Amino acid sequence: MEKDFDSWNVIKKKIDTTRKAPTFKEKEVWWCNIGLNIGDEENGKNDGFTRPVVIVKKFNKRIFLGIPLSTKIKDNKFYHTIHFKNIDQSAMLSQIRVLEGKRLSDKMGELLEIEFNKLKVKLKDVIFENISDPQEK
């Protein structure tokens, strides 16, 4: 199947020129215009190329680190199941990325503190797995 990058490019230009970044904070889940991406990078769905994203780290009022969510539950180290809005979802840890707040369209809610803390622990495990501590040398 050939990807329609041109359609995403039209939407991306519009978002960049017309949208202002909303106020957001860590733990929140938003619909986010992730776009149409290359290879195995996660894509947005539907006409707006959107997907739910949990905000893991807010760097400033416009930039954040986000993890895309999926309703397809996968049981491996690169996914973490969270319970949000009475639905189990997979946080796609391997797809974490820095995003501009202009991509956010609609706030869906906020993760419970316990869910968010479990997600952060799992993310740290994935990122720092097999990386030696420099103080151990």
Model confidence pLDDT, tens digit, residues 83-94? 999 999 999 999
- pLDDT at residue 19, rounded to an integer: 80
- pLDDT at residue 40, rounded to an integer: 61
Residue 15 identity (one-letter amino acid) = I
Rounded Cα distance between 70 and 66, Å, is 13
pLDDT tens digits, one per residue of 97-118 = 999 999 999 999 999 999 999 9
Q: How many domains does the chain have?
A: 1
User: In this structure, what CATH number is given to the domain that contains residue 51?
Assistant: 2.30.30.110
* Structural domain contains residue 15: yes
Query: Using 50, 70 and 90 to split pLDDT, how confident is the model at 69?
Result: very high
Domain interval for residue 96: 5-128
* Structural domain contains residue 137: no
Radius of gyration of the chain, Cα coordinates, nearest whole angstrom: 16
pTM for this predicted structure: 0.86
How does DSSP classify residue 62?
S
From the CB of residue 121, how many other CB atoms can be counted at a distance below 10 Å? 11
Rounded Cα distance between 52 and 84, Å, is 11
* Structural domain contains residue 133: no
Rounded to the nearest 10 degrees, how much is the dihedral formed by the CA atoms of 31, 36, 38, 43?
A: 40
Q: Return the ∠ at Cα 73 (arms to 123 and 86), rounded to 5°.
A: 90
Given a contact cutoff of 8 angstroms between Cβ atoms, the answer to whether 27 and 113 are in contact is: yes
Given a contact cutoff of 8 angstroms between Cβ atoms, the answer to whether 32 and 103 are in contact is: yes
* Structural domain contains residue 22: yes
Given a contact cutoff of 8 angstroms between Cβ atoms, the answer to whether 67 and 91 are in contact is: yes
